[in-house]
Chain A
Amino acid sequence: MSDIALSQPQPGFLGFLVSLKPRSLADAIGTCLLFLGAWLVLFPFVWMLSASLKPANEVYDSEFSFWPETFMGGVNYYGVLFEQPYLTFLANSFIVCIGILIVQLITAVPVAYALAKLKFKGKSILFGFVVASLTIPINVTSIPIYLGLVEFGLLDTYFSLMFPFFVSVFAIFLFRQFFRDYPDSIIDAARVDGFSEIEIILRLILPAAVPALAAFSVFSVVAHWNDLYWPLIVVQSQNKMTAALSMLQYQSDFDNDYGRTFASATVVTLPMVIIFLFARRLFIRSITMTGVKG
């Protein structure tokens, strides 16, 4: 009887509980480890939610309780949503993420196509450079880029927020791997039929590469939505602040309003959590597709 219950998933919460019933000792240990892992990942978020409801002094309390003694949730969230230009921050983040994504696709797709399908001298060396560039962290290039932006007076602009990310080596690598599997004979047929190389990309390769494009898009948007490092360097005024950067407004050398900071963090994370719920499969694919995390 229990076998039938296990093999036929029941609807609702009861079904979920039944699915947790261990089938063997190893299964039970595995489930426990997974629960532990899930808890490790989820606890910071729980703590963030809890802290966002508390006054600053209670955040420091040595005893952790999820529900605050003095409920400051209303004040914290009101402050985040209405006492600062929250929509401007969201819009800035949105503009930056989409701008970066568009330029990344425009630069990466032709490069990836050339590396995957065209024959030219030095191709393997060029691809070697691409792979090698994957290993360079942004911190190495940020100082020369920053100095250049200062020289041209471009600090505190959308351009300066996007510029370092216009060429994504990860995207080139990912797309190249994906394009390589496209049948050569179809490309040859297209050349005989009169397609130009650009049209081969637009009409044949891209429609076939939608999964890769979507996966990379999700990946890129999430990465730059959450980026704190670069905006912190180039943004100087409040009206260019991105959502992630706006969290830091409540911190100074003298006074840290942690309750409000965490309310801000919650609100900033929320859009990404929603995107993740909708595009979960794409997101997972973007990480598993090449086995490389950008």
Chain B
Amino acid sequence: MAGLELRNIRKSFGSTDVLKGLSLEIADGEFLSLVGESGCGKSTLLRIISGLEAPDSGEVLIAGEVVNTASPKDRNISMVFQDYALYPHMSVAQNIAMPLIMARLPLHARLPLVNLVSPRARSIKPVIASEVEAVARQLRIEHLLNRRPAELSGGQRQRVALGRALVRHPKLFLMDEPLSNLDAKLRVEVRKEITELHQSTGYTFVYVTHDQTEAMTMSHRVALLQKGELLQLATPSTLYADPNSVSVARFIGSPEINILPVSVGAEDLRVGTVVHPGLAFNLSSCVQIGLRPEAARLVGSQDVSTDFKLAYNRHLSEDLGHEVLLHGTLAGVQDTPFRLRVSQAIGQRAVLDTQEELFVGFDCSDLLYFDAQGERLRDARFSMAMREAAQ
């Protein structure tokens, strides 16, 4: 059964169409990331799933039920916000207990003073307190329960926000860029914790981020959004190795993929100064190719083992220790930057250090072919090779 299903969701604010008929399905227990640049509609989509915003048309189904008209609290979801959104004047314990108090106590028993005498409130409160404690222990914040949010560090606040979301055992766990306010080191740490949390709880997670690294490392599948449309929904490795369009290829991967203009003849392919002949090439509409910075390699001046070999004009090199990142251009395509990752491991570094003139070599099977609209062209032979490479 699908944990969450979206059918043809549309939403516009004034004259701007934020979401243009978006459909997707998330399996129960899946971790799905919604990725895209700011303004692509990913946060709006999350707000529609949560019920904080209503779609103009389309249906939202949680666990098989249409919940379009249900208010956020009736959807049994939890949400973690970018700025944590903790209740500032309540203690950590009260913050975590709040969803349970709201769900289990009737309105009159929640009123101040009444909650001191209401038998129901008095019988439920110890239960809630013990559940809060269990969640706090799970997140290792039990020593902070009596503090106020203002007295906590960013990472601690993040844990409290997670605790408040966890405590009600939601059907759906929504996260809106929860790591963007943390520093780099803490981000990696919390990223790991969230992944572990997902594995230990088995809840369905929908995770919004603009950071492709978070999306790639944490999710089962990634939905890439652009201008209110779903570009591609696939596993991280498929998105990386087998993107549907130039936009996807550009967004996923760091450093960015190289996109080069090419010209295609009847049976040949020209990249820069080099023409590769003898191709039974049926991709006549191809005008650009994509090449990952690590898919190409440095070759010796006498080396002729690759389909293409082009002189490389290096502008800048960044030494990261385990690899060197080169910025430059290829002979014949001076206008387009070409990035190259030279890895320590495969002995490429020796070539870089010793050779004065650099040559870059790659094969037809390393390339991704795109038409003028940026759509991917799949040649049967090459896409087979790609798929094998991905696995």
Contact = CB atoms under 8 A, between A and B. Distances in A.
Interface of A: 183, 185-186, 188-196, 199, 203-204, 207-208
Given A183-B85, A207-B89, A208-B88, A195 B79 contact: no
A193 B71 CA distance: 11
B239 interface: no
Contact of A193 (B89, B107, B110, B164): B164
Contacts of A208: 88-89
A185 B83 contact: yes
29 contacts: A183-B85, A185-B82, A185-B85, A186-B86, A186-B87, A186-B88, A188-B79, A188-B85, A189-B79, A189-B81, A189-B87, A189-B164, A190-B98, A191-B52, A191-B73, A192-B50, A192-B52, A192-B72, A192-B73, A192-B77, A193-B73, A194-B72, A194-B73, A194-B102, A195-B73, A196-B107, A199-B110, A207-B89, A208-B89
B226 interface: no
Interface string B33-51: 0000000000000010011
Interface string B142-178: 0000000000000000000000100000000000000
A135 B373 CA distance: 59
A192 B83 contact: no
Contact of A186 (B73, B85, B107): B85
Contact of B81 (A188, A195, A199): A188
Given A185-B83, A208-B89, A193 B52 contact: no
A183 B99 CA distance: 19
B242 to A, nearest CB: 36
B78 interface: yes
A7 to B, nearest CB: 34
B115 to A, nearest CB: 12
Interface in B101-126: 102-103, 107, 110
B31 to A, nearest CB: 20
A183 B85 CA distance: 8
A55 to B, nearest CB: 56
A194 to B, nearest CB: 3
Contact of B87 (A188, A191, A192, A204): A204
Contacts, number: 55
A188 B87 CA distance: 11
Chain B: interface secondary structure? mixed
Contact of A194 (B47, B81, B83, B99): B99
A86 to B, nearest CB: 36
Contacts of B79: 188-189, 192
Contacts of B86: 186, 189
A207 B102 CA distance: 18
Nearest to B75: A192
Contacts of A194: 72-73, 99, 102-103
Nearest to A203: B87
A26 to B, nearest CB: 42
Contacts of A186: 85-88
Contacts of B47: 188
Interface string B261-303: 0000000000000000000000000000000000000000000
Contacts of B103: 194
Interface in B196-217: none
A185 B82 CA distance: 8
Given A183-B83, A189-B86, A192-B79, 7 more contacts: A185-B83, A186-B86, A188-B79, A191-B71, A191-B72, A192-B72, A193-B102
A192 B103 CA distance: 11
A105 B87 CA distance: 23
A195 B79 CA distance: 14
Contacts of A196: 107
Contacts of B98: 190, 193
Contacts of A190: 87, 98
Nearest to A184: B85
B99 A188 contact: no
B250 to A, nearest CB: 31
A191 B174 CA distance: 14
Interface in B49-90: 50-52, 71-73, 77-79, 81-83, 85-89
A186 B51 CA distance: 15
Residue from A188, A196, A207 whose CB has the most chain B CB atoms within 10 Å:
A188
A78 B43 CA distance: 72
A194 B51 CA distance: 12
Contacts of B52: 188, 191-192
Contact of B78 (A192, A195, A207): A192
B83 A193 contact: no
A107 B164 CA distance: 33
Nearest to A186: B85
B361 to A, nearest CB: 51
Nearest to A189: B85
Contacts of B81: 185, 188-189
A203 B82 CA distance: 22
